[in-house]
Structure 1
């Protein structure tokens, strides 16, 4: 049997096992087998009801506890786990311009462990420091005001396409030195990538992942070449210098640029979309915010707690250890349910209530914790705050109409399309 056929056979067996475990009532399998785009909190609460750490039929462990998830994220004995792309041994496609294929998560610092992660983060983190964010605040504010004009009308408009995706997409393009005219490519890649984070479940999904990664790899390899020929005041130019000095590989640079692009706007778009949904469903909170748009920072934090843009994160036990009273062996996968941890009643009073005055909302784990705390958290917070403040200042009665269409992913949670009205 060829390697390709073996891969397809393995995908089929894994999918069948997961489906069987779900049918047999395994709560862990039911979370991993949710329909793409489905709301998962009912299933997360089943995990919480079973204890702080629940082991599924496959041996995989899962936690909805804030304390346990926080421990898993902060303890370096738990290693970050790659997505299925690496396990599927993806290779360059025929006709691809570059002779390598990289993944935004698997081949960047997002899936690196110390000490490699430490070295890579030292290269990238200064580019997202507080001073750099302050320097770009005025740019974001001007951009938001321009984009709000697209929402000014009497007919319902798709908030995601017209506003929520464009703000962070144009900001990260400016940071990386990419053409703003390529926004449509960025938006499509971001949406498609959300589904690949779930892992491929068949030959068709594997092929779709390959095509997406080939497009991303070719695009950023060309962008790196352009910055080498004509350096500029952007992040790609800065990171290209790190490659030339031997501190980063060419493939590592391309995958890091991919991660910065996709992570740089998908999270913010989901914050904006999820906030508008939550405010539309909670009229008292909507009225409070519309009366005082200065609460935008609080709205961002409560939205992150209420609906985590990344619902869960996977770690693998690097050495035998004890977690929540269980002895875990090396190689045991542990799923930290970030979205459930953010609604842990041990930490958050009335966790099922959306409350923009919640004093400890910032204790959420939506940006993870420990060495893998989200590199772009400051940027996402700033963009979300400025965008929501501008939106509700210009259109205090903005509200969602109809049912939102969510991104086709189990991990990424946010609306792909969201019709809103900005008038009465």
Structure 2
């Protein structure tokens, strides 16, 4: 508690002194003006918080791919306090453990697997809309976008009906981990949700050990038997799939739909040509990314961008700012679903920690946007949205809409 309070006071004080990175960590409904303040300070600068900060796409991409940087310190120590047991997942590890666990997980997101998942996503999208009062109005986040990815993840993991309520509740509660800097009260809430998820996964692994199926948990149990990973690591893989695989897609669908409805000409383009849906996905990820930043720590002294970073230096790559870098993207502040950029955005990070579930998120977004424009061509916003206020994630809590 005392460590949290000291850190919080420090961030607020440095924000009061005008440090843009500190202001970002305090949480902003609209961070983009602050991103430009960071960009104006050069490709890499040392913030008042002692963290090196970059909004530069080329440099950010380089650091994310540079083996001299990792997610933990060179001795394996965490950079920040542990908020939950999800902090021990393989996403927070460096090679060789990260490489081993990632290699085991990659087949779960292969093109063949994506093709098999797509009909289920299409069915879920239509089923969710069938339940709603489309003309009377509904909440696009709470009634649609929030339920789509979690239904798919349930199927991937093979979660049976009797565990559904607990799984869904704990998945939503675990989303706090994506908000980055959370309060002590939220930390307790987060850990309770993660513990609940891990209880479900532990029970399921015992069941699948006795009665295997074709789901992800059955495959992980089989890999355990071969000595390729431990039970704790298996549960951690499931945790990351459940949490990162649900909230990121929810925010992708919500952010993209809001951008489209705010620009009727873009909505009309999609309505006239639903095959532009993949373009909606990519432009949303670039223009209003669900993931806002990535942090890395130098494992040795590094000379980069004209700066000398001592070993242990923390670097914050503002990936959402890099995605609007005018040196890379023409008219970067314009939302254009026909954009044909030769450079990939950094919404899924880069290098060895490139988002494992990127193919899944892209496929779900594609199906969701196609379904919305097909089923609800006259969709309109009926009230103000309620945004998350987070330094690391960007999305909506509520988004009132109607089909007429």
Matched, 1:339 2:320: yes
Give the Cα separation in 2 of the matches to 1:88 and 1:350. 39
Indicate if the aligned counterparts of 1:66 and 1:344 stay in contact, CA closer than 8 A. Answer: yes
What SS class does the counterpart of residue 134 from structure 2 fall into?
A: coil
**How far off its partner does 1:190 sit?**
4.2
What SS class does the counterpart of residue 265 from structure 2 fall into?
A: helix
Which residue is 1:103 aligned to?
Answer: 85
Q: 2:3 aligns with which of 6, 10, 15?
A: 10
Which residue is 1:24 aligned to?
Answer: 17
**How far off its partner does 1:382 sit?**
0.8
Indicate if the aligned counterparts of 1:62 and 1:335 stay in contact, CA closer than 8 A. Answer: yes
Indicate if the aligned counterparts of 1:15 and 1:201 stay in contact, CA closer than 8 A. Answer: no
**How far off its partner does 1:81 sit?**
4.1
**Structure 1 unmatched ranges of 5 or more:** 1-7, 91-101
Give the Cα separation in 2 of the matches to 1:211 and 1:385. 33
Query: Any idea what the Cα deviations from partners look like across 1:30-65, whole Å, max 9, x if unmatched?
Result: 111225xx2211111110111111211221011111
What SS class does the counterpart of residue 14 from structure 1 fall into?
A: helix
Paired residues for 1:16-415 under 5 Å: 16-35=9-28, 38-81=29-72, 88=81, 103-104=85-86, 106-151=87-132, 153-179=134-160, 185-200=166-181, 202-360=183-341, 363-415=344-396
Give the Cα separation in 1 of the matches to 2:269 and 2:63. 36
Give the TM-score, by structure 2 length.
Answer: 0.93
Query: Any idea what the Cα deviations from partners look like across 1:85-144, whole Å, max 9, x if unmatched?
Result: 995467xxxxxxxxxxx633x222211211111111111101111111112222222222
Give the Cα separation in 2 of the matches to 1:282 and 1:184. 37
**How far off its partner does 1:202 sit?**
4.4
Distance 1:393 1:146, change over 3 A: same
Distance 1:197 1:275, change over 3 A: closer
Which residue is 1:99 aligned to?
Answer: none
Distance 1:278 1:333, change over 3 A: same
Distance 1:147 1:205, change over 3 A: closer
Worse-superposed segment, 327-336 or 354-363 = 354-363
**How far off its partner does 1:216 sit?**
2.1
Aligned residue pair count: 401
Indicate if the aligned counterparts of 2:295 and 2:315 stay in contact, CA closer than 8 A. Answer: yes
Give the Cα separation in 2 of the matches to 1:361 and 1:339. 18
Indicate if the aligned counterparts of 1:70 and 1:365 stay in contact, CA closer than 8 A. Answer: yes
What SS class does the counterpart of residue 363 from structure 1 fall into?
A: coil
Distance 1:202 1:390, change over 3 A: closer
Give the Cα separation in 2 of the matches to 1:189 and 1:326. 43
Give the Cα separation in 1 of the matches to 2:241 and 2:134. 33
Indicate if the aligned counterparts of 2:180 and 2:390 stay in contact, CA closer than 8 A. Answer: no
Provide runs of 4+ in structure 1 moved above 6 Å: none
**How far off its partner does 1:244 sit?**
2.2
**Structure 2 unmatched ranges of 5 or more:** none
Give the TM-score, by structure 1 length.
Answer: 0.89
Distance 1:186 1:290, change over 3 A: farther
Which residue is 1:94 aligned to?
Answer: none
Indicate if the aligned counterparts of 2:64 and 2:350 stay in contact, CA closer than 8 A. Answer: yes
Distance 1:415 1:182, change over 3 A: farther
Give the Cα separation in 1 of the matches to 2:82 and 2:374. 49
Worse-superposed segment, 24-33 or 382-391 = 24-33
